[in-house]
Amino acid sequence: MGHVEIWVLTMCVIFQSGYGFYLPGSYPHKYVVGDPLSVKVNSLTSIDTEMPFSYYSLPFCKPKEGVKDSAENLGELLMGDRIENSPYKFKMYVNESEIFLCQSKKLSADDFKLLKKRIDEMYQVNLILDNLPAIRYTKKEDFMLRWTGYPVGVKVQNVYYLFNHLKFKVLIHKYEETSVARVMGTGDAVEVMPTVTKEGSDMPGHMVVGFEVVPCSVVHDGNLVNKLKMYEKYRSPIKCDPNAVSMPIKEGEPIVFTYEVAFEESDIKWPSRWDAYLKMEGSKVHWFSILNSLMVITFLAGIVLVIFLRTVRRDLTRYEELDKESQVQMNEELSGWKLVVGDVFRAPSNPAVLCILIGDGVQILGMAIVTILFAALGFMSPASRGTLITGMLFFYLILGIAAGYVAVRLWRTIGCGDHKGWISVAWKAACFFPGIAFLILTILNFLLWGSHSTGAIPFAVFVILLLLWFCISVPLTLVGGYFGAKAHHIEYPVRTNQIPREIPAQKYPSWLLVLGAGTLPFGTLFIELFFIMSSIWMGRVYYVFGFLFIVLILLVVVCAEVSLVLTYMHLCVEDWKWWWKSFFASGSVAIYIFLYSINYLIFDLKSLSGPVSATLYLGYSLFMVLAVMLATGTVGFLSSFWFVHYLFASVKLD
Instruction: Please spell the DSSP secondary structure of 371-440, one letter per residue.
Output: HHHHHHTTSS-TTSTTHHHHHHHHHHHHTHHHHHHHHHHHHHHHTTT--TTHHHHHHHHHHHHHHHHHHH
Q: State what percent of residues in the chain have pLDDT above 90.
A: 44
Q: Average pLDDT, stretch 432-446? A: 94
Asked whether residue 193 carries a pLDDT value surpassing 70, the answer given is: no
Q: What is the pLDDT of residues 545-576, one digit of tens each?
A: 877 888 898 889 889 988 988 888 888 888 78
Q: Average pLDDT, stretch 428-439? A: 95
Rg of the chain over all Cα atoms, to the nearest angstrom: 30
Asked whether residue 280 carries a pLDDT value surpassing 60, the answer given is: no
Question: pTM, whole model, 2 decimals?
Answer: 0.81
CB proximity list for 399: less than 8 A, separation 6 or greater: 362, 363, 366, 367, 370
- Measured between alpha carbons, how far is residue 593 from residues 31, 78, 79, 336, 546 in Å? 48, 23, 22, 34, 22
**pLDDT score at 31:** 93
Q: What is the pLDDT of residues 62-100, one digit of tens each?
A: 999 999 987 667 888 888 788 999 999 999 999 999 999
CB proximity list for 459: less than 8 A, separation 6 or greater: none
Q: Average pLDDT, stretch 614-640? A: 95
